[in-house]
Amino acid sequence: MVRGKYLASLKESIVNLDFNAVVETAKEAMDAGVDPQIAITDGIVLGMTIIGEKYETGEYFLSELVVAGEVMKEGMKVITPYIKGGSAKKLGAVVIATVEGDNHDLGKNIVTTLLRVHGFEVVDLGTDVPTDTIINAVKKRKPDILGLSALLTVTMPKMGEAIESLKMADLREKVKVIVGGSPVTSEFAESIGADHCAANALEGVKKCMEWVTPRETR
């Protein structure tokens, strides 16, 4: 099977909510040498995007979203051990959270996994995290980067609230802020004063690496 077929099969197994197929295809893809990060972004994540579309059109219901999340986790379990880190020494520290009111964490967890394999120390505060908890973690951990995730349009303003609170606590200049999640746009990120909006997990991780790597050694 060529690479594209593995990616298509991974995507289909998510869309079909097929636990066995996702595990089998993920194993086959890894055995065939498909890049694990591409398997995640161009296979599994694309499948989840289709799930979202099917939910929007009424073909799938909430129960299918829940199952899709579990199918995705099974695929990730097979693929994650194959991701090779680019750096053995610690690159920098990141505090990451899904903002208050939002329980979506599949995307944030992918970002966390990729950051760790690329050499970042990541403190994952979890989901539905109040702004105060985020600010206290930045105070205590002094990370280089704060990552915020939101999947619901109603919770996106919490990202702006976190940045305002960083300013009030005199912390804004001490930490880069990267935001992500499917509804979050660059325009929105700019409007709340974030440093970057990640198009996807890989691109976000690359940006984080740029921030902590001295220019001459890149």
Stretch that binds ligand B12, among 6-14, 75-83, 145-153, 165-173 (CB under 6 A): 145-153
Quick one: how far is CA 55 from the chain centroid? Answer: 21
Residue 32, Cβ neighbours under 10 Å: how many?
12
Residue 17 makes contact with ligand B12 by CB under 6 A:
no
Closest distance between ligand B12 and the C-beta of residue 93, in Å? 14
Closest distance between ligand B12 and the C-beta of residue 102, in Å? 5
Closest distance between ligand B12 and the C-beta of residue 215, in Å? 21
Residue 102 makes contact with ligand B12 by CB under 6 A:
yes
Q: Which of 15, 26, 108, 137 binds ligand B12 (CB under 6 A)?
A: 108
Residue 138 makes contact with ligand B12 by CB under 6 A:
no
Q: Which of 14, 26, 48, 138 binds ligand B12 (CB under 6 A)?
A: 48
Burial class, 159, CB count within 10 angstroms (exposed 0-12 / middle 13-18 / buried 19+) = buried
- DSSP codes joined into one string, 63-132: HHHHHHHHHHHHHHHHHGGGPPPS-SS--EEEEEEEBTT----HHHHHHHHHHHHTTEEEEE--SSB-HH
Residue nearest to ligand B12 (CB): 107
Closest distance between ligand B12 and the C-beta of residue 99, in Å? 10
Residue 62 makes contact with ligand B12 by CB under 6 A:
yes
Q: How would you label 59-92 residue by residue, b for 16+ Cβ within 10 Å and e otherwise?
A: ebeeebbebbeebbebbbebbbebbeeeeeeebb
SS3 state at 33: coil
Q: Which residues bind ligand B12 (CB under 6 A)?
A: 41, 45, 48-49, 51-52, 55-56, 62, 65-66, 68-69, 96, 101-108, 110-111, 147-149, 151-153, 178, 180-183, 198, 200-201, 204
